[in-house]
Structure 1
């Protein structure tokens, strides 16, 4: 089923077209005696010939105002009927049409002598005004009949005098209509016209022989309804239309008898198009003050207008008929509440500053402060909490966790208060890296605060800095903006200078820093504003300048240039294979090998050895063409094996046409969590592979020899034993072990399953099926393909964790001791990562402006989604019990098994 049954006019970016089909009607010829008496009449073309040449003009109107210039039909001579068949294009699109839009269509006659309403040598033959939206606010489409008002030009006004459809006028007398005959003919013509529209739209089945008979009868009916003999009965109608130019009594009667109908045609659409207006953003807040985004009360809700009794409408006597207008005050959002300002000055009076140094909280205040300091980074401080932190700020300098809360409690618009806060930063005890990362987020724009956070990062070594480098590059977007350029962050900020200096000293950092910047510069999608591309290009330029100042900088620049050429060659080969490689996978693989063996590509022998951009610690000296393969996929990913300087093979997968930045982020977080767990002496054998996005739609992935659980299940299904257990027993046999699997391999499998189950749950990884769950012969279990994260999943009723029964069976079943060890590892890992939740949340907070699909979908809820899975509102014991329920629900879920079966069937038919 289609999820929608109508379309929105706002999404219709097509020009407005209207087809002028034909003009039907008979004109009563004026006697020659009248033409002799009236010389001005005999010069009008339609009075001389019943098929004289006419032309039309179409103009768009709305709210009694013209929106476009008139569009005119080309010249066309007529012989037997007035038929144009021309499409006219108006200079406006459907998505810009207002609800009151209507077409003012005027038919012009030739009259060299002029006349009423003449424009040059033309006078109005008739006019009609056609609304583009009906009473249900639906766009009109298909064939339309428009009544032509003789001798009038279409006015296009809101209360037009030339409507395209006339109401049925009945004069009730003894319960009958005086003109019953004509009304019945008109009603029959309207009924036939509606049926004809349904036939054209395919709602009525087509029967060729019967359709021809019906069409001929419809033509006869139209001729009958528009013939002068039938129209003569209309003379008895009340003359309510009026405004017919009176030439003389005889000519006026003839014009009243004439009924002309203009046939037009509008574009047809598969669905009804409903009017929807463009929602304009609210007016900007006054810029008289530079507001700190770290203040929680900046974006106040708009003031609510309350009307007094009898003011918001007409009074009881109906005397009040005026219109009330709400006036937008731009200072409402930028000015503090005067009462709150006065309160803050009293509480934070500078005369009490000396006394605050000796203040110590009592037991009640100490508990409140501990609760505030222990709250997650997303917690919004209330005014009372801010005042409490400010009051005991000197006491809190000993608590490194309290600095971020203190910065949030400062009113940075008060110069004296801001000066005190900056002086206090130097006295604060050294903060942790996670708090320093929070201070670099979008909520803190004070340059002194950000510089303080950068100073803390200077104490981190290169390995630690590499774990956060991806987020630190994104944090450049939040650097303090200059007053003269409020749209562009500063490229010479303390953070940018720090990253450039450290990257210039370490090739490992410089390699990744360079490629992170180049990907952002390469991203020209709508999700990446131009000012950000300009910012990253300036930082890259400054990085290259800084490299020149170092002793090995010139060599480093040459290496980065060779890497860029290397990636360009591989990208070109990958694109060629994907577009023109051949009809089969074998043909594509053969063509890829030819490209790699071509000496012009300089991939057979790479001299001197080149640091691989994916992993600069690997020096590659050539490629093995015979090991090249192409995967079965719409993008035809290319697998290549490189020869390293140490002589071993290093296989990678290169993709073009796919944005790998989301996968790169997930692998970076997995690597970070692996390091955090190792610090807790918990090695879960995660061994995450490497991913590097080399462009907005290209990137490289380290290839790990492994098999998917789907392939393992298919291959070992007939063994009568759990497929995963059979696979592990095949590659790691040990007859003395309990399950016939070598102890180290089973231990690796159990630990890696526990680690990946916890991490993929915390990151909300979705679209999990047996094809992207991989198992290496050594027992390392891992996930691949992170196209859905943060709780998004294309499958219905997806579990919070992918833990199938086949994975448990690979451990010997839920009754085996391996399953108990699995749960123990999972609980320990979850508890350990909960203690480091602040670091993980701050890293995602730095990514809110990243052009990554699942972050861009709801950037304001990114941190909240991750925080929900940490269950920080619970105690550790309650959180672990809740996590245990998630494991039990996941391993016993039935619906994921059905989805996996369906997925396997689909993949089988694809291959």
Structure 2
């Protein structure tokens, strides 16, 4: 198929225009017998002169209805012919027109007497024609068009118009052959020549034929003569023959003999007229494109299975008797329905847009009758259990109508329960002003909510400004370190702020103002807020909407303006500007290294030369520059001789910096890779580490620092360590993790040891393996192999490379949790003999404690993922339908069972993954693939 270049009608933001060129036609004068019967016809303009003044109206129609008012030609006096050459512009754009748009063009004659009588004016239709704006291929018509004029008729614009611009091809009755019109050979040749000349004329108008003014004028006049002759030929009687019974009906559309039209004027047989018009031409064909409306929202009143089981049934469910042909499974087929018809499901477009009037009335009756009594209402024991069950629901559970009504009914009693505020917000009908006012009045009386509930109130489901402001007030009580844990999600929560204009045009919302104020007062917060905003404003993020880009640009501008308000703030702004220059330079170096030719050794030498070049300003930072990755670290320059390029497809850079304390700080810088997902996972790991430390459980996690500086660029902290694959292949470590730990942490007489390893190092290893087993299981981290499992010399075990999360994995038979035989042997094996020194039982206990601790904070973790749903991170956007990233994490918390049962399920998971052969096979295949690549 050949390529076809076209433009969409939706992009044509131009008013519809048509050029009325001229009217060509011929008819014999009225006979005197007719003038004697109708003396008023003598004074009609078209009967007084063959070039009498006419005017034209053009009006668009669709589905037999006018789309706008008509446009009209100005008065013009004609001498030798009815020639207007006038462009008419209609007050409607091409982009808004449907595909079946027609232009109804009517020529109006002047008459002293209107046959219709009354005050209809002195204009009567001379003739009309109706031409579709789009052809049969839905392509906009352009250029010159020849339209037949139907005498004494106004153009109707109907879908089945009686004034078509071209004569329809006439056929006989059903089952009969076409009528055959016999014309002489000379006329046929003349029409063929005229058709050829018109085609050349269109090419001339498109610039495909060179212009020659004096010769073109002669040709145009000759073509006009041929067109006039063609019009006269069309008025001659035609010999019509047909086959079948229909031939006897010989009357043809529009050519009735001596018939009288509705207004009493004779319709002459020996006359016809054609109007020549012209449509605008465009560089490309314009193809009709319909406007794509967003899908209507699905009603939020849905009952999930978990709700159904949790709800208390006060009455038994009613029995439902299905009629014939209706099956409860929706198939519509049944062996017992006697062959009844199938049930057809019809989607109601009002669902999601309009409220159910019956439900609205029910809600008003239930909630409006006891408002005065609700203040002192207290639940009985049965209702208290019901409300406690509702309060235990996670943030993703939608409340049923019964649960919403009871939460609203006991709202005053629930003010002492901090968990109940989010449930009340879900229960309020915010469209009802009375309910909204009562709910907002309760906010100051409510018990102080936790941070996880505040984050839920900042999500997309809450639009009331007062409720969101209340959530922000709760965040004000968090210190800067805690706020930094949620800052990534709070930046995303700015998208969900309701839009409201302010007279002084100040931004934005209470959340934006809060983040700006806190970040301007703290260098660490300001550093990360700035870079989170820079990523959202990156031009290489096409999925970001224009509205969100404007929002983040405004917040960034206000943040910089707030920094300018003080001397300390101006200094911090200069730091951010210097960081931007530093990131720009290192990104440029990374791209040049990646795109340069040569092997890896040559690229390493090129990197060292580039960072040592004084023009790149990488050797010395004066004053010391706070590192964007960790602003507590102030770097003074690069150490060129220690720079390196890793073996990888994207060739990440290893860059070592000197700090103001005399230490080194190595980092990895990547371009071409989206690090936002890794940044999110590491942030969640850091949060989980903080939650565990609050419970006095230090699992020696290593949430190394990672910062995306653009959509496809970022920096990663380098932790000195070795992958398990290299440890197992090293003779120095005797091919085992235990040998690696013994080599770096040998047992001494001065300190206690376990399995020949210093006790502190072994505890670090066991705890960190337990912590990462639990965390990677909860986050569904995939693509786990021995190359992305690392151990540092002091025993810290950790994971890297989080390209697959939430249960996704590129390999089949992927484990739910990575716990290989080699990892267990590093603890002394899984022997249960009390006399052995195996640390496996301690590992299991750490796993159980960590899992139960994180389950208690599941709402916080789920709310953080909920706020990241619209962050355009590829790994979070792959789920469709009823699946979501929040649901994938929630199902691994096992919130539908008790704590003891959850621990038992996790114990079974450990036993299953230890003995699984699938991960062993995956590791073998991965090792073979890596060796083949090398």
Report how far residue 419 of structure 1 moved.
0.3
3-state secondary structure, aligned to 1:66: coil
| SS at 1:639 equivalent | strand
Inter-CA distance 571–307: structure 2 relative to 1 (3 Å threshold)? farther
SS of 1:715's equivalent in the other structure is coil
**Counterparts of residues 422-441 of structure 1 (less than 5 Å):** 422-441=440-459
* Partner residue, 1:879: 902
CA distance in structure 1 between the aligned counterparts of 2:2 and 2:496, rounded to whole angstroms: 35
Pair 297,341 (structure 1): closer, same or farther in 2 beyond 3 Å = farther
CA drift at 1:526: 3.4
| CA deviation after TM superposition for structure 1 residue 496, in Å | 0.4
Query: 1:470 matched to which residue of 2?
Result: 488
* CA distance in 2 between partners of 1:729 and 1:514 (Å): 45
Q: Which residue matches 2:856?
A: 835
C-alpha distance after superposition, 1:31-70 (max 9, x if no partner): xxxxxxxxxxxxxxxxxxxxxxxxxxxxxx9x99234489
| Structure 1 counterpart of 2:362 | 343
Match of 2:834 in 1: none
The answer to whether residue 398 in structure 2 is matched with residue 380 in structure 1 is yes
1:850 maps to 2:871: yes
Partner SS state of residue 653, structure 1: strand
Where 2:352 maps in the other structure, the secondary structure is coil
- Whole-Å Cα distance in 2 between the matches of residues 326 and 757 of structure 1? 47
Tell me, in whole angstroms, the C-alpha distance in 2 between the residues paired with 1:328 and 1:714: 62
- Which of 726, 737, 742 lines up with 1:729 in the alignment? 742
Q: What is the alpha-carbon distance in structure 1 between the residues aligned to residue 291 and residue 907 of structure 2?
A: 46
Residue 118 in 1 paired to residue 189 in 2? no
- Tell me if the contact between 1:479 and 1:490 (Cα under 8 Å) persists in the aligned partners: no
* 1:336, distance to aligned residue in structure 2 (A): 1.7
Matched residue of 2:376: which SS? coil
Q: How far off is 1:890 after superposition?
A: 1.3
Alpha-carbon contact 1:445-1:479 (below 8 Å) kept: yes
2:581 aligned residue: 565
Structure 1 residue 381 displacement after superposition: 0.4
Work out whether residues 660 and 698 of structure 1, in 8 Å CA contact, stay in contact via their aligned partners in 2: yes
1:405 equivalent among 406, 413, 423: 423
Listed as ranges, the matches of 1:163-562 within 5 Å are 296=301, 331-349=350-368, 352-482=370-500, 491-562=507-578
Partner of 1:788: 804
Does residue 818 of the first structure (1) align with residue 839 of the second (2)? yes
Whole-Å Cα distance in 2 between the matches of residues 789 and 13 of structure 1? 43
How far does residue 352 in structure 1 lie from its aligned partner after superposition? 2.2
CA shift for structure 1 position 743:
0.7
Any idea what the Cα deviations from partners look like across 1:58-87, whole Å, max 9, x if unmatched? xxx9x992344899xxxxxxxxxxxxxxxx
Structure 2's unaligned 5+ residue stretches are 7-131, 143-184, 199-242, 248-288, 305-321, 326-343, 832-836
Q: Following the alignment from structure 2 to structure 1, what is the Cα–Cα distance between the partners of residues 739 and 857?
A: 37
Aligned to 1:165: none
Partner Cα distance (1:13, 1:449) in 2: 58
SS of alignment partner, residue 554 of structure 1: helix
SS at 1:699 equivalent: strand
CA distance in structure 2 between the partners assigned to 1:278 and 1:796 by the alignment? 43
Task: Note the C-alpha offset of 1:699.
Answer: 0.2
Cα deviations by residue, 1:197-255 (Å, 9 ceiling, x for unpaired)? xxxxxxxxxxxxxxxxxxxxxxxxxxxxxxxxxxxxxxxxxx99xx9xxxxxxxxxxxx
Deviation at 1:119, TM superposition (A): 6.5
Cα pair distance change 1:121/1:419, threshold 3 Å = closer
Q: 1:342 to 1:830 in 2, by over 3 A?
A: same
Task: Mark the CA change 1:789 to 1:119 in structure 2 (over 3 Å): closer, same or farther.
Answer: farther
Q: Is the contact made by 2:747 and 2:757 (CA closer than 8 Å) also made in structure 1?
A: yes
C-alpha spacing 1:536/1:598, structure 2 compared with 1 (3 Å)? same
Alpha-carbon distance in 2 for matches of 1:440, 1:890: 39
1:357 is paired with a residue of what secondary structure? Answer: helix
Quickly say closer, same or farther: Cα 1:711–1:332, change in 2 above 3 A.
closer
Question: Could you say which residue in structure 1 is the equivalent of 2:611?
Answer: 596
> Aligned partners of 1:623, 1:379: CA distance in 2, in Å?
52
Instruction: Report if the CA contact (8 A) 1:661-1:852 is conserved.
Output: yes
Equivalences for residues 664-683 of structure 1 within 5 A: 664-683=679-698
Distance 1:114 1:479, change over 3 A: same
Give 2:890's aligned residue. Answer: 867
Paired with 1:752 and 1:575, the residues of 2 have a C-alpha distance of 36
Q: Give, in whole Å, the separation in 2 of the partners of 1:278 and 1:669.
A: 44
Deviations 1:122-176 (CA, angstroms, capped at 9, x unpaired) = 499xxxxxxxxxxxxxxxxxxxxxxxxxxxxxxxxxxxxxxxxxxxxxxxxxxxx
Shift of 1:681: 0.2
Q: Deviations over 1:447-478 (max 9, x none)?
A: 11100000000000000000000000000011
Aligned to 2:278: none
Aligned counterpart, 2:630: 615
Contact 1:116/1:123 (<8 A) preserved:
no
- Whole-angstrom CA distance in 2 between matches of 1:400 and 1:119: 89
- The CA deviation string for residues 842-883 of structure 1, in whole angstroms up to 9 with x for no partner, is 110110101111111127511111000000001001011111
Question: Residue by residue, what CA displacement relative to the aligned partner does 1:387-414 show, whole Å, maximum 9, x if unpaired?
Answer: 0001100000000000000110001010
The residue aligned with 1:894 is 917
Mapped to 1, the partners of 2:542 and 2:5 lie a distance apart of 26
What residue is the counterpart of 1:651 in the other structure?
Answer: 666
- Aligned partners of 1:423, 1:294: CA distance in 2, in Å? 28
**Preserved contact between residue 397 and residue 429 of structure 1 (Cα < 8 Å):** yes
What is the rounded CA distance, in whole Å, between the counterparts of 1:448 and 1:376 in structure 2? 23
Q: TM-score, normalised on structure 1? A: 0.66
Cα 1:332–1:830 shift into 2, 3 Å: closer
Distance in 2, matches of 1:66 and 1:117, equals: 26
Structure with larger Rg: 2
Q: Distance in 2 between matches of 1:900 and 1:329?
A: 52
Distance 1:879 1:344 in 2: 39
1:15 aligned residue: 4
- Give the distance between the partners of 1:434 and 1:69, measured in 2 at CA: 56
**Equivalent pair of 2:771/2:846 in contact (CA under 8 Å):** yes
Q: What RMSD in Å do the two structures reach over aligned CA positions?
A: 3.4
Question: CA offset at residue 427 of structure 1?
Answer: 0.6
Q: Distance in 1 between matches of 2:494 and 2:557?
A: 15
> Displacement, 1:550?
2.8
Hey, what's the Cα distance between the residues in 2 that align with 1:622 and 1:876? 52
How far does residue 629 in structure 1 lie from its aligned partner after superposition? Answer: 0.7
Alpha-carbon distance in 2 for matches of 1:116, 1:819: 101
Query: Deviation at 1:13?
Result: 12
Determine the C-alpha separation between the residues in 2 that align with 1:649 and 1:549: 35
Secondary structure, in 3 states, of the residue corresponding to 1:820?
A: helix
TM-fit CA distance, 1:525: 3.0
For residues 333 and 907 of structure 1, the distance between their equivalents in structure 2, rounded to whole angstroms, comes to 53
- Deviation per residue, 1:760-780 (Å, 9 max, x gap): 110110111111111101100
